[in-house]
Amino acid sequence: MKQTININGIPISPSLNFGEKGPTDPKNNFLLKERLFRISCLSVMVAVAISLIAKLLVWLINLVTNISFYGSFSATFHSPSGNHLGLWVIVIPAIGGVVVGLMALYGSAAIRGHGIPEAMEQILTNQSRIKPSITFLKPISSAIAIGTGGPFGAEGPIIATGGALGSTIGQLFKITSNERKVLLAAGATAGMAAIFGTPIAAVFLAIELLLFEFSPKAILPVALACITGAAGHHVLFDAGPVFPMPNLTTPSNTALAIYSFIGLITGFVSLGLTKIVYIIEDAFEKLPIHWMWWPAIGGLAVGVIGYFAPHTLGVGYDNIINVLSGTLTLVIVIRLCFFKFLSWAIALGSGTSGGTLAPLLTIGGAGGAILGTVILSFFPGSGISIPMAALVGMSAMFAGASRAYLTSITVALEATMQSHALLPLLGACTASYIVSFFLMENTIMTEKIARRGVFTPDSFEADLLGKLTVAQVVSDDGLVLSSENTVKEVRDWLKVNNDQANYFVMVNNEGAYIGTINRTDIFRHGLDPVSLLGDIVKDGDAYVRSTDSLRKAVEMLAKQTAEVLPVIAANSNKVIGVLSYRDILSAYKEQMEENENAHIHISLKRQRLKMLIRGRKLINLDEAHGE
């Protein structure tokens, strides 16, 4: 029970009422909302700027493409596949690789890669700080890489550029690292919305790959930025769907099952695709030459492949549209799928400036169309269509490779405006995600930074300390002193009872909290023994209410030098208990052990499934873990 010293006979018995909701601090709430409004305004400003940069990036890509493959100074879109350079086409991507390598060497090595993993790493390890120079180096290097035939889309570079711009703005203003993370995510996803016109998918991308949280303070600024980016897309680009395709009809149950099967197969393919990309990257790491020359070597391979398969060169959004139309022959689709993957994997592994989203969509769409054609040849009455098969393959490929589940579904819906595709996309992406989750430790987005020892959150559970309230863990055995006691009375009591506590809570005659006092003050040399404790009490601002979360209690303890916090009733100023570090750690440990037990079971199932697929002998994993 709570110990109370009251030698003067004044009873102190605060009510242990945890059920009532306590008052909030209107001033604190206003300040929080004011900061949220400020970050939201900055996010919108970043989104406007990145929309203009997105237009500039596309303009630069078109300009470099026309100069490189057609010798004309024009920003009108022309696919590099229509060039008449002959064997000279092999040299163009290599020249682009040399330029990118020089920019990475003398500008910033951060322009290498496909953008999202690098942004994730800065969020997780560097308080969301990205070099301001990336804001202009990334789009220029990407325009050169893509314009000279690199098999990438514009969305990857603009995501990296938007993240760099948001981070830079965040570094200019006095904001927290978490607020800077929000600005980084807002800039990155606004760039995606500006290129694709997919604001909902962009919000989900932020949640699944950048923010690692779902809260109003994070979602509102990002959502406003994505809406602004989508508006910029409609003003600066075409207002229609990015990937127009024939209207799709509602599929039958049989067709839904087949589309889910296509997603399942695509999930296995995404595993192999991810492995090959990093095998190629590892091969470049072993080359006995400086990494500056790797993009040139990758560009040379892109040029050779582009000579035999011209449609693999450049952005390739037209390839996605053609695949989704369902009009390409099987041979053309197979060539596009194989050679696009080979070109992209080599280029990305070489460390040039590029991206992953558009190539994955192209490869997945082509793979889905191939599977759909094969299934229709054996089961002509199955009710599936090639365009729908291509769409679910496109989405399932991204879901399996990136494990961005909601993003994969919504980007396909928004980019094509095909509402009847919702159920097939849900089934296919779920199947692909299951395969990826159980059989692949890291994704194409996280493998690189995982090798550097950076842990990437893979769940969006509420913070354990945020879920628990003070009332659930408060201890009522703390020492509470009365302000009417004298210093001598307390000294004598502490000596007799041998109490080793360093900090004590103090209340007045009615049991209301008035402050804290430490042992040093009580035993301070020269202090008059007949002085009342109320005369030497410290400031009474350090307390928590029973309805507060443990997170707030931890923040309060971190700011104070005290080892304990008084717990105040929800509807009054009476002390109902004392909260210590030990109480918080004990509650946290209990919750953590519950979660770990659940994770162990998932890991065991994942290991069993891997062994079954590889044909290895199974052992009793439950017994091995003492279950």
The domain spanning residue 280 has which CATH number?
Answer: 1.10.3080.10
269 and 124 both lie in a single domain: no
Q: What is the pLDDT of residue 549?
A: 80
224 and 144 both lie in a single domain: yes
205 and 56 both lie in a single domain: yes
Q: What is the pLDDT of residue 616?
A: 46
Using the 3D structure, point to which of 236, 267, 288 is the last residue of a domain: 236
Residue 9 has pLDDT above 50, yes or no: no
198 and 225 both lie in a single domain: yes
Q: What is the pLDDT of residue 13?
A: 37
Judge whether 53 lies within some domain.
yes
553 and 601 both lie in a single domain: no
Q: What is the count of structural domains for the chain?
A: 4
Judge whether 479 lies within some domain.
yes
% residues pLDDT > 90 (the chain): 44
Q: Which tokens sit at 424?
A: 């097939």
Judge whether 10 lies within some domain.
yes
Q: What is the pLDDT of residue 617?
A: 43
Judge whether 346 lies within some domain.
yes
- Using the Cα atoms of residue 125, residue 126, residue 131 and residue 135 in order, give the sign of their dihedral: positive
End-to-end CA distance of the chain: 38
Q: What is the pLDDT of residue 478?
A: 62
Q: Which tokens sit at 393?
A: 């393959």
Residue 520 has pLDDT above 60, yes or no: yes
> What residues make up the domain containing 608?
594-624
pLDDT single digits (tens) 390-436: 999 999 999 999 999 999 999 999 999 999 999 999 999 999 999 99
Stretch among 413-422, 470-479, 601-610 having the lowest mean pLDDT:
601-610
Judge whether 248 lies within some domain.
no
If you search the block for the tokens 């601090």, which residue do you land on?
A: 25
109 and 135 both lie in a single domain: yes
> CA angle 60-66-68, nearest 5°?
95
**Single-letter residue type at 327:** T
Stretch among 44-48, 86-90, 261-265, 477-481 having the lowest mean pLDDT:
477-481
287 and 331 both lie in a single domain: yes
Helix/strand/coil percent split, the chain, to 5: 65, 5, 30
Nearest to 391 by CA among 445, 325, 328, 292: 325
216 and 100 both lie in a single domain: yes
349 and 300 both lie in a single domain: yes
Judge whether 456 lies within some domain.
no
Cα distance between residue 408 and residue 205, in whole Å: 9
Q: What is the pLDDT of residue 475?
A: 66
Cα distance between residue 230 and residue 228, in whole Å: 5
pLDDT single digits (tens) 147-173: 999 898 888 888 889 989 999 998 888
pLDDT single digits (tens) 279-320: 999 999 999 999 999 999 999 999 999 999 999 998 888 999
353 and 479 both lie in a single domain: no
| CB contact set of 47 (below 8 Å; sequence gap of 6+) | 186, 187, 190, 193, 194, 224, 225, 226, 228, 229, 232
180 and 197 both lie in a single domain: yes
Judge whether 70 lies within some domain.
yes
Judge whether 243 lies within some domain.
no
Residue 5 has pLDDT above 90, yes or no: no
